[in-house]
Amino acid sequence: MDLAIEGKAYINGSFEKCCIGIDQGIISSIKKISKGDEHLDFGNKLILPAGIDVHVHFRDPGMIHKEDFSTGSLAAAFGGISCVFDMPNTIPQTTNLQVLSDKIITLGKKSYVDFGIYSCITNSNIKNTREIGKKCSGFKIYIGSSTNSLQLGTSNLREAFKEVDSAEKPVLIHAEDNQCLNRHKIKERNLVDHLHSRPSECEEKAIMDILESSRNINSKIHICHLSSCEGLELLKNRAENVSCGVTPHHLLLSVEKNLKPQSRYKVNPPLRTSFDREILFEGMRNGFIDMLESDHAPHTLEESDVDFGNAPSGLPGVETMFPLFLYMAKKRMLSFQRLISIICERPAELVGMPKGKIEVGRDADIIVVDLKKDCKIKSECLHSKCGWSPFEGWPAIFPTHVFVRGEKLIEEHEMLGNQGFGRFVGK
């Protein structure tokens, strides 16, 4: 046995004192006592599965002044995330095999953590879905416009789902109806204007179209960054293959909060009311929402600190997502069972990866957490290029140690791993 990790581990829904045996990056045993070539005893610290972020925009290639895969994956690792899935609205956009293949090579040289790459389904490339599905980690569909995105008309949604069914890959959807968005366009001066320009009815319309078009489809369909109470209500009776995610910013921030400068908090879909936020938080706690996703979409301060109407949309969050909610679990604002489900187990199910659980046969992606070591989030201590966090000063608990496939990537908050260690997780 290569490594034995001892401590208070989260196994099958509860914590138990045990020893986790690891061979060649895979969990090989879970026993009361084990011996390995290396033995690490973490005492009463918590041993948890590492998180999986199914929704990041690491801007690589094409916009690497905002972020690249080395800084983005470094931030993910320090936040306890062992695997990330990158969205296709890069430059060039990931819409064909050549761009995808080039991206796999480029990112493979940079990533500290394991990674997947989505391909975008558009009105013009639907017929290529099966071919690119042999290599990509999943698909993304933008029903409504967002930063550097290509759209798919709702009239083509049913055809796209049929093609995805044949490709046997998950499809993630930005659910805002574009015709609805066009009807509500106004001059934006602040967050309230942005909310009015992208009202919840646009999310409702998109979700209704998704649910109708996906009837008798077997593939996994995931609705990204749910933002409204109306959207959540529609999804309460969804089919088993339809899941939904929510971001930390939609759970914790709202337009009523004193967020300054407001241009930094511009995001699609927009921050909504405190009522929406509270309903979403309850939905997350009670099991109606399947997973947390950061939608990490950084911009530089120079780009964001401009006139609101000219500011780009997107917030950073991959490094702070797990730590924020670890602190909330400590304070019993949600259970550890729910936290592990929404950030580890359900994301692993969506993308079909042998990660997300401390279980024999799965990748040894593990974090160690000392609940006594909470801290305040400080942008200067984070690792994204963008240089700021929407959660500056919020309490959080960052993991002390991070293991990816049994390799110690972080020890006592210090990076030991190297760029290029992360593997592409496609088919």
Q: Is the same domain home to 406 and 328?
A: no
| Domain end position, chosen among 309, 331, 351 | 351
Which position has the token pair 């991206």?
103
Mean pLDDT along residues 116-128: 93
Instruction: Give the list of residues 6+ apart from residue 273 with CB closer than 8 angstroms, or none.
Output: 195, 254, 255, 256
Q: Is the same domain home to 320 and 254?
A: yes
Q: Is the same domain home to 345 and 370?
A: no
- Active site (catalytic) residues: 295
Q: Is the same domain home to 270 and 395?
A: no
In terms of residue numbers, what domain contains 409?
3-47+361-415
Q: Which of 132-136, 142-146, 266-270, 355-359 is the least confident region?
A: 142-146
Whether 420 is in a domain gets the answer no
Whether 72 is in a domain gets the answer yes
- Percentage of the residues of the chain whose pLDDT score is greater than 90: 92
Q: How many domains does the chain have?
A: 2
Q: Is the same domain home to 117 and 80?
A: yes
Whether 422 is in a domain gets the answer no
User: Cα dihedral sign for 371, 375, 377, 383?
Assistant: negative
The burial class, CB within 10 Å (0-12 / 13-18 / 19+), for 109 is: exposed
Q: What is the pLDDT of residue 151?
A: 75
Mean pLDDT along residues 184-195: 96
CATH number at residue 326: 3.20.20.140
Whether 315 is in a domain gets the answer yes
Whether 383 is in a domain gets the answer yes
pLDDT over 80 at 426, yes or no: no
Whether 82 is in a domain gets the answer yes
| Domain end position, chosen among 351, 380, 398 | 351
Whether 223 is in a domain gets the answer yes
C-beta separation of 21 from 34 below 8 A = yes
Q: Is the same domain home to 38 and 56?
A: no
Instruction: Report how far Cα 99 is from the mean position of its chain's Cα atoms.
Output: 22
Q: Is the same domain home to 383 and 284?
A: no
| Domain end position, chosen among 328, 351, 374 | 351
| pLDDT 10s digits, 373-416 | 999 999 999 999 999 999 999 999 999 999 999 999 999 999 99
CATH number at residue 395: 2.30.40.10
Q: Is the same domain home to 21 and 145?
A: no
Check whether the bond before 49 is cis (ω within 30° of 0). no
Q: What is the pLDDT of residue 36?
A: 72
| pLDDT 10s digits, 86-110 | 999 999 999 999 999 999 999 999 9
C-beta separation of 181 from 150 below 8 A = no
